[in-house]
Structure 1
Amino acid sequence: MSELPDRRLLLVHAHPDDETINNGVTMARYVAEGAHVTLVTCTLGEEGEVLVPELEHLAADQTDQLGRHRIGELAAAMDELGVTDHRFLGGPGKYRDTGMIYNDEGNADVPPETRPDSFWQADLLTAADDLVPIIREIRPQVLVTYDQYGNYGHPDHIKAHRVATYAAALAASRSYREDLGEPWDVAKIYWMAMAESGMRESLRKLRESGDTTTFEGLDPDGPLGPYVTPDRFVDCVISGEGYIDRKMNAMKAHATQITVDGPFFALSNNNGSEIWGSEAYRLVKGTAAPGPDGVEDDLFAGL
């Protein structure tokens, strides 16, 4: 595949908008630098909450057309970031958004009842086999996905982590499914991270500005929960400098899911690019190549 650029990045996400919130700056940067960026989204986000009143009829408990609408939102967001290679796992709508509940601890969890076509119920090997040929086609040096907790416990995030991890292992095996392409071993695998110091600093500035409702109940000096990553585990930080506006515009493209007066924009307005602009990662496969400050500033460092 000589026509592909030298640097190739694959991101595996659960729903439309997850990619922009977590990796919008990263994607925009690597596109701008000439790398090939591929996004695989595992569901259409059919169970999402509709934040635009005139589109409430699209919701799962009404006309159930939200997933189709979010295909358009994702395309618009990718236009903002410059990403031209974005796909749905197994094709649009093969795996349905599982939805989520909040458990007694206040964390996201699996709903008591899930549909048979939900991503959570999907056979792991079947779903991995939808990703293996993409890995073998694109041959990414870097793969980005969630940690084993799905960052905050959403069942589809956890499932995306499992599918991406399993598919990466299978894709590297010479003897696995020759019909799915030539084997490819991804050199570096990263899990997305929310760095603890950045989150605490941003919360502090929010509280000092008089905002007590954004991330309500979280104390800048108190426990923050399992979705926050201690700084010692952060291996790479991609700076938002030059790309934060693209990320914010891409977030606005996900209009049914993200409001401009919501927490993302509250934080961005208060803190510039400090939290949503800097995107942190944990390296879980491969060798880190940190800079003088002990952290990488490039996912491809050392390759």
Structure 2
Amino acid sequence: MVETETRRLLLVHAHPDDESIGTGATMARYVADGAHVTLVTCTQGEQGEILVPELAHLAPDQEDRLGEHRVKELAAAMAELGVQDYRFLGGPGRYRDSGMVWGEDGRRAQAPGDVRPDSFWAADLRAAADHLVEVIREVRPQVMVTYDENGGYGHPDHIQAHRVAMYALILAGVESYRRDLGPAWRVAKVYWSAMPRSAVQRGIDLMKDAAEGPFGNVESADELGFVVDDADITAIIDGSSWVERKIAAMRSYPTQIDVEGPFFALSDNIGQAIWGSEHYRLVHGMAGPVDPETGCESDLFAGLGI
């Protein structure tokens, strides 16, 4: 059981590498600040595309061992960020990566037509939520972070992680629900990670001017399906002092991420700038004091008095 006076942050992500890309600097910052950081990863990422030719034999249509390899990548990334408490939802291998296909616009993901019955997308929502309820009641986080209702860019596992997290949030706080999973706990604040339009556009502009050239041909943030209006951002975490740890954590995923200078590319070949600042939307709980310059919280625990 975690000490009650400790700041406790719980993050719910879909696959190994998602946490480092979207929230790595935040995680490293709070670990350095003495907070207890818990990561719950919902799948082992078995269906991911493989960027390392020598490891192509791990692919689902060959040896189908990519998941066990990505578990090792996750452990290496957590060592870089300093996170000691990381788990898989329901235990390793309980839910399989559902895979994805790109929609007609090529910018938004969707579930493939042949989702396996053991995939996360096909999971019973309450059963999956119960696994997270148990973690919430054990760790007793004051703050939880997950994706928005669209899973950022539409990946079915990101959407399912959102659904599981938000349902577990409610169930964990009900005194009479599943007492066998531990004493009820109410999470004070919940944030959805977000990519503000202005920050994404700055990244695109930087890539256009980079000597080595961009990884993709995106000209405007409006071409991407995962950006949100700047006005929707309620918290900005300055992780600039920990951005090198974030980059190191991302380098721990060579099968999934190609890190090059200040940029990285995923399998869709869209280059993205690596930001030291990470952005969030408060969706549950009361906002705390804000930074007068940004009008946003600079601490996810703001207003909680801890």
Identify whether the pair has TM-score above 0.5, normalized to the shorter chain: yes
Partner of 1:246: 245
Q: Which runs of 5+ in 2 are unaligned?
A: 266-271
* Distance of aligned partners of 1:2 and 1:104 in 2 relative to their CA distance in 1, 3 Å threshold: closer
Displacement of 1:260 after TM fit? Answer: 2.5
Partner of 1:47: 47
| Structure 1 spans left out of the alignment, 5+ residues | 267-272
Q: Which moved more, 1:288-297 or 1:114-123?
A: 288-297
Pick closer, same or farther for the CA change 1:177–1:242 going to 2, 3 Å. same
CA apart distance, 1:219: 1.8
The alignment of Structure 1 onto Structure 2 pairs a total of residues equal to: 295
Give the Cα separation in 2 of the matches to 1:263 and 1:18. Answer: 18
Measured in 2, the distance between the counterparts of 1:10 and 1:261 equals 29
Identity of aligned residues (%): 59
Task: Give the conservation status (yes or no) of the 8 Å contact 2:10–2:145.
Answer: yes
Query: Which residue in 1 is equivalent to 2:219?
Result: 219
> Do the aligned residues in 1 keep the contact of 2:207 with 2:273 (CA within 8 Å)?
no
- Does residue 260 of structure 1 match 2:259? yes
1:27 matched to 2:60? The reply is no
Residue 100 of structure 1 corresponds to: 100
- Paired residue secondary structure (1:91): coil
Equivalences for residues 1-303 of structure 1 within 5 A: 1=1, 3=3, 6-106=6-106, 107-209=108-210, 213-216=214-217, 218-220=218-220, 223-261=222-260, 264-265=263-264, 275-289=274-288, 290-293=290-293, 294-303=295-304
Q: Which amino acid aligns with 1:281?
A: Y
CA distance in structure 1 between the partners assigned to 2:230 and 2:223 by the alignment: 13
Instruction: Give the residue type in structure 2 aligned to 1:50.
Output: I
Instruction: Return the letter of the residue paired with 1:276.
Output: W
Which deviations, in whole Å up to 9, do the C-alpha atoms of 1:65-119 show, x marking residues without a partner? 0000111100000000000000000000010000000011221001011000000
State the partner residue of 2:268: none
* 101-110 vs 207-216, greater mean Cα deviation: 207-216
- Distance (whole Å) between structure 1 residues aligned to residue 19 and residue 173 of structure 2: 25
RMSD: 1.8
| Cα deviation digits, residues 31-88 of structure 1 (max 9, x gap) | 0000000000000000011111111101111100000011110000000000000000
Distance 1:254 1:274, change over 3 A: closer
Q: TM-score, normalised by structure 2?
A: 0.92
**Paired AA for residue 189 in structure 1:** V
> Which residue of 2 is the match for residue 270 of structure 1?
none
Q: Separation in 2 of the partners of 1:204 and 1:227?
A: 17
Distance 1:100 1:262, change over 3 A: farther
| Contact 2:133/2:171 (<8 A) preserved | yes
Q: Is the 8 A contact 2:204 2:273 kept in 1?
A: no
